[in-house]
Amino acid sequence: MTDEQLLRYSRHILLDALGIEGQERILATHALIIGAGGLGSPAALYLASAGIGKITLVDDDSVDFTNLQRQILHTQARVGMAKAESGRQALAAINPEIEIVPLQARLSGAALDDLVASADLVLDCTDNFATRHAINRACVHHRKPLVSGAAIRFDGQISVYDLRRDDAPCYHCLFPEGEDVEEVRCAVMGVFSPLTGIIGTMQAAEALKLAAGIGESLSGRLLLLDALDMEWRTVRFKKDGGCAVCGPTAAGQLPGYLPRPDADHESATGACRLA
Ligand SMILES: [Zn+2]
């Protein structure tokens, strides 16, 4: 670490649990952040300020005036700009020494697979149910830890799927695809501004812990926040032995890629859901 890095990260280094070793592991980590909106904004800002070595920031959308109420990566002057590039500018302004790769794309198929394979950990900051499952399948396949958050109205949730571990449940274990669920259109739903900040910031905290190799992650625990009453609830869950995504597979098939006719199906309505 350079003298400037020792200074920049000194308040991290002072933490007994983290120290120089933990900070060095953070500096060596490549985080893939999918979604540069309400959740991705605070997550990316904290990962950049904390010195995650490389951030790939993916979003296919452009900054809209209605985003500014909660998507704090972006500014009014950057309305109309690609969110990935707007995010890159915000992150570079805070920490010019990290590598930031902006990607204006809607990830699916091989592109998603390649990016997940190249990253050390993945933050799902999307608002789309089908995309969430596609990300989960890639993370199961490549055994990458997945930090997943969701926020809508006053309701937030967060969990970690530490797919490096054999006994860790995946997103599909908890939210099986195809079940009757409440699907709502995020584009027209209200979202309490700081709710996305709370959940996205917690995603950054879990990602940094995973990067540094410290503490106890949210693997096997789903935290649910009712921000209107400011009540937290914890739901504990286990790996589903019969899970179609991470469960035992027939010979020759790798977990995460069981034949699924709708494997790369993208929701046409941009539907999202919260458990
Ligand atoms: Zn599973």
Report how far ligand 1's centroid is from the alpha carbon of 247 (Å): 6
- CB atoms under 10 Å from CB of 61, counted, come to 15
Q: What is the pLDDT of residue 238?
A: 96
Strands (E), the chain: 30-34, 54-58, 99-103, 121-124, 145-152, 155-162, 184-185, 221-226, 231-236, 271-272
Average pLDDT over residues 186-193: 82
From ligand 1's centre to the CA of 219, what distance in Å? 12
- Residues of the chain with pLDDT > 90, as a percent, come to 81
Q: Which amino acid is residue 204, in one-letter code? A: A
Q: Classify each residue of 201-225 as buried b or exposed e, where b means 16 or more C-beta atoms within 10 Å of its C-beta.
A: bbbbbbbbbbbbebeebbbbebbbb
pTM assigned to the model: 0.91
Q: For residue 165, which amino acid is it?
A: R
> Using CA atoms, how far apart are residues 265 and 190, in angstroms rounded to an integer?
26
Distance separating alpha carbons of residues 267 and 185, to the nearest angstrom = 11
Distance CA 239, CA 220 (A): 8
Residue 133, classed as helix, strand or coil, is helix
Q: What is the pLDDT of residues 53-65, one digit of tens each?
A: 999 999 999 999 9
Distance (angstroms) between ligand 1 centre and the Cα of 171 equals 6
Place of tokens 């879990």: 206
Give 99 Cα–ligand 1 centroid separation in angstroms.
32
pLDDT exceeds cutoff 70 at 204: yes
36-50, 179-193, 198-212, 249-263: which range is least confident on average?
A: 249-263
Q: How far is the CA of 220 from the centre of ligand 1 (A)?
A: 11
Cα 237 to averaged position of ligand 1 atoms, centre (Å)? 11
From CA 262, how far away is CA 253, in angstroms rounded?
A: 17
Per-residue pLDDT tens digits for 245-254: 998 765 555 6
* 173: annotated active-site residue: no
Q: How far, in Å, is the centroid of ligand 1 from the Cα of 161?
A: 9
Give per-residue pLDDT as tens, 40-98: 999 999 999 999 999 999 999 999 999 999 999 999 999 999 999 999 999 999 999 99
Q: Which of 125, 139, 173, 186 is catalytic?
A: 186
* pLDDT score at 48: 98
Query: How are the residues of the chain apportioned to helix, strand and coil, as percentages rounded to the nearest 5?
Result: 35, 20, 45
Contacts of 112 (CB under 8 A, 6+ apart): 134, 135, 138
| Mean of per-residue pLDDT scores for the chain | 90
Q: What is the pLDDT of residue 108?
A: 86
**pLDDT at residue 269 tops 50:** no
- Which residues, 6 or more positions from 154, have their beta carbon under 8 angstroms from its beta carbon? 192, 195, 226, 227, 228
What distance in Å separates the CA atoms of residue 257 and residue 249, rounded to the nearest whole number? 9
- 209 C-alpha to ligand 1 centroid (Å): 22
pLDDT at 177: 81
124 C-alpha to ligand 1 centroid (Å): 16
Element (H, E) at 20: helix 19-27
Instruction: Compute, in angstroms, the gap from residue 242 CA to the centroid of ligand 1.
Output: 8
